Structure 1
C-alpha cells in the first residue's frame, strides 16, 4: 500500500506532467526521507518516471532511492537476489532501457556485493540497444 502523502505527490506530478526542483526536494526530504519501503513505491515512482518530464536532479534522486531499497532494505543486505533482480529488470525494461533505468542498474551493480545475472542481462541488452541506435542514426 502506498502512503497517502506519496500517492498525492504522484497524482500531482502526473496531472502537471513535469517534475521540478521543489518536487525533487520534497520527495527526498519529506515524503521519502527514510527511503523507499516497498516494491509498490518503486513501481509507482518508475511509472511516473516513464510518463513525465523532469529536471536533471530527479534522475539522481530516483537512482539513489531505488538502489538503496534494493541493496540495503531487502534481505540479505548488500545482495541482489534472483527474485529482486528479475523483478527490477522487468520493471526497468517496461519502456526500454531509459537513461534513468540504466543509471539505476549501474548504481546497483557498483554498490552491491553480489548482483544476480538477471540485472546484468538488462544492462547488456541496454548497452546493445544503445549501440544499435547509434549505428542506425
Structure 2
C-alpha cells in the first residue's frame, strides 16, 4: 500500500511534470523520513522519475532512498539476493538504463556485501550500451 502523503506527492509532481528541490526536501524530511517501506513505493518513485523533469537534488535523493531500501531494509541485510536483484534490474531497465537507474545500481553495488548477478548484468548491459553509443557517434 502506498502512503497517502507519497501518493499526493507523486500526483502533484506528475501534474506539474517536475520535481523541484523543495519537493525533494519535503520527500526526504517529511514523507519518507524513515525511508522507503515497500517495493510499491520504489516502483512508484521510479515510474515518476521516468516521466518528470527534476531539480539537481532529485537523482541523489532517489538513489539514496532506493539503495537504502534494497540493501538495509530487506533481509538479509547487506545482501541483495536473486529475487530483489531480478525485480530491481527489471524495473531499472524500463525505458533503458537512465542515469538515475545506473546510479542506483552502482550505489547498491558499493553498499552491499553481496549483490546477485542479475543486478550486475544490468550494470554490464548499460556499460555495453554506452560504449556502443560512443562508437556510433
On whether the aligned pair clears a TM of 0.5, the verdict is yes
- Between the aligned partners of 2:34 and 2:92, the Cα distance in structure 1 is 23
- Between the aligned partners of 1:31 and 1:93, the Cα distance in structure 2 is 26
TM-score by length of 1: 0.99
- Between the aligned partners of 1:17 and 1:135, the Cα distance in structure 2 is 33
Name the structure 1 match of 2:47.
47
Name the structure 1 match of 2:107.
107
Give the ranges of 4+ consecutive aligned residues of structure 1 lying more than 2 Å apart after TM superposition.
none
- How many residue pairs are counted as aligned between the two chains? 137
Q: CA deviation at 1:55?
A: 1.0
Provide the aligned C-alpha RMSD in A: 0.4
Name the structure 2 match of 1:29.
29
- Between the aligned partners of 2:69 and 2:26, the Cα distance in structure 1 is 18
Q: Determine if the alignment matches structure 1 residue 64 to structure 2 residue 64.
A: yes
Consecutive unaligned residues of structure 1, counting only runs of 5 or more, are: none
Q: CA deviation at 1:17?
A: 0.3
Name the structure 2 match of 1:131.
131
- Between the aligned partners of 2:57 and 2:11, the Cα distance in structure 1 is 20
- Between the aligned partners of 1:56 and 1:117, the Cα distance in structure 2 is 30
Consecutive unaligned residues of structure 2, counting only runs of 5 or more, are: none
